[in-house]
Amino acid sequence: MAQLWGGRFTKETDKEVYAFNASINFDKRLIDVDIKGSIVHAKMLAKQNIISDADKDSIINGLNSILSDVKSGNILITEEYEDVHSFVEANLIERIGDAGKKLHTGRSRNDQVALDMRLYTRDTVLKTKSLLITLLSEINNVMKENIDTYMPGFTHLQKAQPVTLAHHFGAYFEMFKRDVLRLTDIYERMNYCPLGAGALAGTTYPLDREFVAENLGFLAPTANSMDSVSDRDYLIEYLSALSIIMMHLSRFCEEIIIFNSNEYRFVEIDDTFSTGSSIMPQKKNPDIAELIRGKTGRVYGALMSLLTTMKGIPLAYNKDMQEDKELSFDAFDTVNNCIHLFTGMIATIKFNKEVMEKSAMNGFTNATDAADYLVKKGMPFRDAHAVIGRLVLYCIENNKAIHELKLLELKSICDMFDMDVYDEISLETCVEKRITTGGPSRMAITNEIAKNDEFINNYSE
Ligand code: ARG
């Protein structure tokens, strides 16, 4: 057991207690950011004449050599150490001797871990954002190719009015676009440097916190030292954003599962993104979509877990906060992986355009437009609604779609119908007449796609 704090103890920590307390198994992934932060801290200590330049140089060389040995597998981060910070410090002292003992001057593990977690999370936010941008451009590609692909739009999972595949995908573009904006917002708010807060009350050393903040790419140092070591809001915000992303992915997956089903056959998931059954030879299952939908639960779980962990913690640092890591890391990995795999699935999926279009032709998706036709001929909408209701009933009884009825049959329900009705309730008219901003018409969607392209350009690095 290699500890940083043995001095005031007369007995060794119990082994099980040590293991319970340790975080090395999961915080070892902070090694890069831990060393990055320590290098800037050492530079600042030397600049402020708190340590010598020679000590600073040997600290920086030592830290770099630890990192490259870890990367090459020359040394392993083992359970012998309590956490990643102890691992680095113990190794540093082993390598460079007394200079290594000066690195922790004016610093506590409380502000150190606050810094590490922020640096790590900040990078991950950018990763999520760039994965979302790739997904958005894939969605926009599908939109560009399917401006004229008619399909039924649904409410209550019942056919409602005809739309296009481009319009349907455009709805998801908006969701993931808001996700990108949310991440941008979160990034800005979290981008302040907690190092220099010490254990909780700052330090008596003349630290230059502005220097550290600037050199680590932060906007500024955090404003209050007690808040600096006890704030995990940025993680909670990010986990909420990740939960919303999963909710979006999960809804999309649910639709793909339905549309991929034998009954719908609107889409066919590519073989490379499907799996088979061990017993039923005919099966090709949408497991990836189901798993993404399923993994939504663990991401929500991480958010609930951290919210609950934080709710009763008095100022400032408390060990409860170590619980911010495992589930957050799991959520980060899960969401990034899900976005990536989902993008691949969308990029390779096949759309059965004829099946979609045929489906849009029946199920009375043009009933609203038939009512609107009568309104245009002078009938009040409520009356038209009732007439078309009777017409639909007639169609159901005779197993026909509205456009399949003869003019005579139409007139038997209402004599305001004329030959021009067929044009007015065609699939194309139903879609193309919806020209208001946000609608499915070619004109509206073309505008939307251009704006999407602009958004993607603005947010791609
Ligand atoms: N492993 C700890 C954590 O993740 C590091 C900070 C320890 N600080 C302390 N006062 N025990 O929160």
Q: What is the pLDDT of residues 318-346, one digit of tens each?
A: 999 999 999 999 999 999 999 999 999 99
Active site residue ranges: 156, 277
From ligand 1's centre to the CA of 291, what distance in Å? 34
- Atom 2 of ligand 1, residue of closest alpha carbon: 322
From ligand 1's centre to the CA of 109, what distance in Å? 6
Distance CA 170, CA 440 (A): 9
From ligand 1's centre to the CA of 110, what distance in Å? 6
Q: How confident is the model at residue 394 (pLDDT cuts 50, 70, 90)?
A: very high
| pLDDT at 363 (0 to 100) | 87
From ligand 1's centre to the CA of 194, what distance in Å? 14
CB crowding 287-304: b at 16 or more within 10 Å, else e? ebbbebbebbeebbebbe
Checking if the pLDDT of 279 tops 80, the result is no
Distance CA 137, CA 19 (A): 46
Atom of ligand 1 nearest to the CA of 84: 1
Where do runs of H (alpha helix) occur along 48-83?
53-72
pTM of the entire structure?
0.94
Share of the chain above pLDDT 70, in %: 100
Checking if the pLDDT of 387 tops 90, the result is yes
| pLDDT at 332 (0 to 100) | 98
Q: How confident is the model at residue 454 (pLDDT cuts 50, 70, 90)?
A: very high
Where do runs of H (alpha helix) occur along 260-366?
287-310, 326-348, 353-361
- Render pLDDT for 18-52 as a digit per residue (tens, 0 to 9): 999 999 999 999 999 999 999 999 999 999 999 99
- Residue 75: CB atoms within 10 A of its CB come to 14
Positive or negative CA dihedral for 309, 314, 320, 324? positive
| pLDDT at 281 (0 to 100) | 79
Question: What are the Cα distances from residue 303, in Å, to 124, 163, 234, 292, 300?
Answer: 16, 36, 12, 17, 5
- Render pLDDT for 341-361 as a digit per residue (tens, 0 to 9): 999 999 999 999 999 999 999
- Packing angle between helix 84-96 and helix 109-145, nearest 10 degrees? 120
Q: How confident is the model at residue 69 (pLDDT cuts 50, 70, 90)?
A: very high
**Is 360:427 a contact under the CB 8 Å cutoff?**
yes
Atom of ligand 1 nearest to the CA of 23: 1
Q: Average of pLDDT values for 215-224?
A: 98
Atom of ligand 1 nearest to the CA of 324: 4
Higher per-residue confidence, 365 vs 237: 237
Checking if the pLDDT of 2 tops 70, the result is no
| pLDDT at 1 (0 to 100) | 61
From ligand 1's centre to the CA of 296, what distance in Å? 29
Question: What are the Cα distances from residue 214, in Å, to 9, 130, 221, 326?
Answer: 39, 24, 8, 29
**Is 82:21 a contact under the CB 8 Å cutoff?**
yes
Q: Which of 24, 81, 319 to mutate to test the pocket of ligand 1 (most atoms within 8 A of CB)?
A: 319
| Pocket of ligand 1, beta carbon within 6 A | 23, 27, 83, 109-110, 113, 317, 319, 321-322
| pLDDT at 13 (0 to 100) | 86
Atom of ligand 1 nearest to the CA of 321: 12
155, with CB counted inside 10 A (0-12, 13-18, 19+), is exposed
- Atom 4 of ligand 1, residue of closest alpha carbon: 322
- Atom 10 of ligand 1, residue of closest alpha carbon: 110
Share of the chain above pLDDT 90, in %: 92
